[in-house]
Chain A
Amino acid sequence: MSSIEAPPLPESHAKPEPSKRWSRMSDWLNPILVREVQQAVKGRVFPVTVMLALGISVIIALVVASEYVDGQTGRGAFDAGFATLIPLVLFIIPMQAYNSMRTELKGGIVEQLLLSRLSPSAVLSGKLQAAMVQFMLYVSVLSPLLATSYLLRGVDLPTIAISLLFALVICVTATAFAVSSAAQGVVPALQPIANLGIAFGLGFGTVAMVGMVASGGYSMTVGFLMRSGEFGMVVSGVVGVAILATTLSWLAARTFLLHAFENKSTPFRVFLFLLPPLLYGWMLLFVPSRFWRELFPIMSVILAVVGIIFGVFMVTEQRALSPRVFAHVPASGLRARFMTPLLPGRDRGMLCFAVYSALLVAICSLVGALSPVRTFGVFSDDGITGGLMALTYAFVYLGAGRFLRGRLPETVQGNHGGRFMLPLLLLLCCLVPVLVDVVIRGEPTRWHVGHIMNPFWTIDEFYNRGGSVISFCLITMLVMAAVQVPAMLRGTSEVRQASLAHQRRLRAKSEPAPEPEAEATE
C-alpha cells in the first residue's frame, strides 16, 4: 500500500532468535491454531489445569510409592493416571473450544474471519488442531505417571497406546461436538439448548468415564479385548464411529457459520453417499465373516434410517438455488447433471433421496442375489419386500413434507417449520386412527385400511399376515412416490438453466470486447 510505509527493519542475525524461528515455522500453521495457543498461554485455564494435573500426578506417585504391592500397584497407578486424564480431554479441552467458538461468534467476528482467506472449514480445523495440541500437552504432563505404571508392570505398552488412542478419539469427537454446539449460538433460540446439551453431555460423559476407569473396569475390558479375536473390529469400529461423529459435527458447525445463501447442503449429501461404501467396507475389512449375515441387514437398516433422517432435512429446504449457488453450478452439462442430486433445494433433495434409496436397494439386491443362504433379514424375500415398503413409506412422507414445506415462506425459518411439521404429521397419522378406533370400537384391536399411513403397524402386519391388501398398499405407495417425479424434474431443470447461464458467462468473457466506434476525424 502506497501510503503505508514499512518501518526500517533490523539487519538479520546469523542465527535467528527462537521467537523468530517459531514465527517463521508458524507461517505454515492454521492461524486459528496459532492464536488459540497464544491465548491459552496468556489465559488462566490452561496453566491452572496443567498445574492441577501435575499436582495430582505427584500425589498419585506418592501414594503408589507408599503402598507398593508387586503386580497390583502398577495397574492402580495406570487407572488413577488415566482417570486424571479423562476430565481434561473430555471436559476441559472441549469446554475451552466451546468458549472459544462462542467468542468467535460474538459481534460478527466470524464474519470478519470469513472475509479473509479462512473458510469455515479452516476455522473449525484450527479449533480441532488446537484441541489436539492441548491434548498432547496434557498427555505429556501425565506421561511420567503412565510410564511408571508400565515400569511397575501394571499394564503393558499396547494397553497404554490403545488407551491414549481412545483418549485422543474421545477428545477430538467431544471437541467437535462442543464446537458444533457453540456454533448453534448463531441462532439465538438454539443457544440455551446448546448450553444445556454441552454441559450435561460432557459432564455426564466425564463422570461415567472417570467412574469406569477409576473402578478398574476399563483396563480389564481393554485387556480382555486385546486377547480376543474381535480387537481389530472393536477398535476400528470405535474409531470409525468417532470419525463419522466428528465429521457430522463439523458439517453441522460449518452450516451455522455459513450464510444462508451459501451452499450448505452438498457436503451433507456427499457424506450420505459416502456412508454405504464406508460401512460395508468396514464390514468387509474388519468384521470376521461369521458375523456378516447378522451385521449386513442391521447396517442396511441403519443406512436406510440415516438416509430418511437426512431426507427430512433435504426435502424441507428452500426450493430454488440461491443466486450465489446458481452462479457456481458447473458449466459442463455432464458435471452439472452428475451434481444435480447433490445441489441444495427440496426438489433435488427428493431426487437425492431417490438415488440414495436406489443405491441401497441395488446393494441389498446384489448381496441377496449373490448370497448362498437366503434365510435372514434382507436376504429373505420378506425382508426385501419389507425394506421396499419402508422406503416407499419414506418416499410418501418425504413427499408430504416437501408439499408442506412449499406452503411455508421461502426462508430459513420456513425450513425449520417444515422439519417440525413432518414428524408431527407422522405422529398424527399413527395416533389419529388409533384414537378413532378407541372412540368407535372401544379399543384398537386389529389393523385395518384406516391405519395404512401408519408405517410401523402396516409393515408389522405384513410380516405377520401378508395378503393382497398389502400388495395393493405397496402399489399405491409406489404410485404416490411417482407423483414426486415432476418435482425432481423441476429441480434438474433449474440446474440445467444455471449450467447454461454459466456457459453464457464464460462465452461472454472469452469473446473480445467490442471496439469503441472510431470518432469522426477529418
Chain B
Amino acid sequence: MSATLLEVRNLDRRYGKVHAVRDLSFTMERGQITGFVGPNGAGKTTTMRIAATLDVPDSGDVEVDGVSVLVEPRQARLRIGYMSDQFHPYPNLDILEYLDFFARAYGLRGKKRKDTVQSVARFCGLLEFKDRPATGLSKGMGQRLHLAKTLLHDPQLLILDEPASGLDPRARIEFRALLKELAAAGKGILISSHILPELGEMCDSVVVIERGERIVSGSIQDIQKAAELEQAIVARVNGDAEAFERFLLVQPHVSDVVADGSRVRFAFRGDDDAMGDLLARAIGQELRIVEFARAEANLEDIFLHTTKGRLQ
C-alpha cells in the first residue's frame, strides 16, 4: 500500500471567466491531517469538491488511493468521506434513524449496519442523545452528527470543508480531538478552515493557495524555514528578566524582544547553531534561564506572509 493517499495533479478549473484553480498539485499521506488554507475565493472548495467527485476539472486529475476521481468516481467515493460546510438533517428522524438511513445508503446491511451505526455514534459522542430529533440539535452536535454520517462507510480520506465554523470553543476542542483520533487511526484528513491557530495545532502539513494557485505546502516548520520566517522563542528566567532583555537586545538574529514578568518573548531569525550559541552566551553571562522553547508554530504568520489577499 502506497503511503500517498491523495494526489492532486495539475488541477485546472474555470467557471466562465473565473479561473478558480490553476495547475494545482500537491500530495497527502495516510494518517496525516493537512490544512487547506487560503483567502476567500482562493479555490479551496472547488478543489475539495473535485476531490470528492462532485465537480470535474477542465484538466488534471485527483487520485485517492490510486483511484482517479475522474475515471472511477464510484470507486473513489468508497474511499472518500466528504463533509460539506452545510448540514440539513431530515425532519421526523432521530439521530440513530438518520445514521441508519445513511448506513443503508452506503450499502451496509444487517448486523454490520447496526454495529457501525452504534460505534460511529459512540465515537462521535452521540449515543447518549440517540433519541433526539436530528433537526433540533445544537451546531456542535449537528457537526458531530455530520461527521458521524461521513464516517459510516469507513472512508480512508476525509475531506472537511470548514467543519469548525460556527462552533463554540468547547465544541471546537472536542471536534479537534475527534479528528486527531481519526488521524491516529490512519485516516487522511484534508481540512479547510479560517480558524488558523486551530489548524496550526492539529495539522501535520498545510497547503496554502491563493487565486487557485499553490503558494506553499509542507509542514509548518519547513515552510517557516523555507520562507525564512522568524521563529518566536519564549524563555523564562529565574530572577532579573530585565537583564536578560538587555542581553537579548544586543544579540545577532534577535528582534522584537518583549518582557512580561519573568517571561521574555523574542523573534529569532538564525539557524539551530546560532540559537545554540545564543543560549551558551546567555548562560555564560550567568543569566538563570529555566525555560527556553520555541513558541507554537504560527500558521497565521505563514498565511499572512505567503498570501497577498488578492481576490478573483
Contact = CB atoms under 8 A, between A and B. Distances in A.
A110 to B, nearest CB: 10
Contacts of A42: 92-93
A327 interface: yes
B115 A6 contact: yes
Given A115-B54, A115-B80, A115-B82, A324 B105 contact: no
A7 B93 contact: no
Interface residues of A, number: 42
B109 A27 contact: yes
Nearest to B112: A6
Nearest to A328: B71
A231 B287 CA distance: 107
A111 B84 contact: yes
Contact of A116 (B84, B106, B110): B106
Nearest to A7: B118
Interface in A310-359: 322-324, 327-328
Interface in A24-54: 24, 26-27, 31, 34-35, 38-39, 42-43
Given A117-B105, A322-B56, A5 B88 contact: no
Interface stretch (A100-108, A184-192, A460-468, A474-482): A100-108
B93 to A, nearest CB: 6
Contact of B77 (A39, A115, A259, A327): A115
B104 interface: yes
B26 interface: no
A23 B114 contact: yes
B105 to A, nearest CB: 4
B54 A259 contact: yes
Contacts of B247: none
B185 A2 contact: yes
Interface string A1-20: 11111110100000000000
A409 interface: yes
Contact of B92 (A43, A106, A115, A118): A43
A285 interface: no
B104 to A, nearest CB: 4
B21 interface: no
B71 A505 contact: yes
A107 B88 contact: yes
A510 interface: no
A261 B73 CA distance: 12
Contacts of A6: 115-116, 118-119
Contacts of B118: 6-7
B102 to A, nearest CB: 7
B120 A35 contact: no
Contacts of A409: 16
A106 B88 CA distance: 7
Interface in B106-126: 106-107, 109-111, 113-116, 118-120, 122-123
Contacts, number: 114
B87 interface: yes
Contact of B110 (A5, A24, A109): A24
A113 interface: yes
Contacts of B54: 111, 114-115, 259
A4 B104 contact: no
B77 A35 contact: no
Given A2-B185, A108-B86, A31 B119 contact: no
Nearest to A28: B109
A72 interface: no
Interface string A484-511: 0000000000000000000001000000
B91 A4 contact: no
A114 B119 CA distance: 24
A112 interface: yes
A35 B90 contact: yes
B199 interface: no
Nearest to B122: A7
A1 B230 CA distance: 41
Of B52, B57, B73, B187, chain A has the most CB atoms within 10 Å of the CB of: B73
Contacts of A471: none
A115 B52 CA distance: 8
B186 interface: yes
Nearest to A107: B88
A62 to B, nearest CB: 34
Given A27-B113, A35-B101, A4 B151 contact: yes
Given A7-B122, A27-B110, A38 B93 contact: yes
Interface string B25-60: 000000000000000000000000000111111110
B149 interface: yes
Contacts of B123: 3-4
Interface string A292-324: 000000000000000000000000000000111
Given A3-B182, A23-B114, A107 B107 contact: no
A4 B112 CA distance: 13
B240 interface: no
Given A1-B185, A3-B181, A117 B107 contact: yes
B44 to A, nearest CB: 16
A380 interface: no
Interface in A161-191: none
A113 B55 contact: no
A116 B120 contact: no
Contact of A31 (B57, B104, B110, B184): B104
A3 B149 contact: no
A375 interface: no
Of A35, A43, A259, chain B has the most CB atoms within 10 Å of the CB of: A35
A260 B207 CA distance: 28
Given A24-B110, A103-B90, A118-B105, A261 B55 contact: yes
A39 to B, nearest CB: 4
B114 A324 contact: no
B104 A34 contact: yes
Nearest to B72: A327
Interface of B: 16, 52-59, 68, 70-71, 73, 77, 80, 82, 84, 86-88, 90-93, 97, 101-102, 104-107, 109-111, 113-116, 118-120, 122-123, 149, 151, 153-154, 181-182, 184-187
Given A9-B115, A42-B93, A109-B88, 20 more contacts: A3-B181, A4-B122, A5-B122, A31-B104, A34-B104, A39-B90, A43-B91, A111-B84, A112-B84, A112-B149, A114-B54, A115-B82, A116-B102, A116-B105, A116-B107, A116-B153, A117-B105, A259-B55, A324-B70, A328-B71
25 contacts: A1-B187, A4-B123, A4-B185, A5-B119, A5-B122, A9-B111, A27-B104, A31-B105, A35-B90, A38-B92, A38-B97, A39-B90, A103-B90, A107-B86, A107-B87, A108-B86, A109-B90, A111-B84, A112-B149, A115-B82, A116-B77, A116-B107, A324-B73, A328-B71, A505-B71
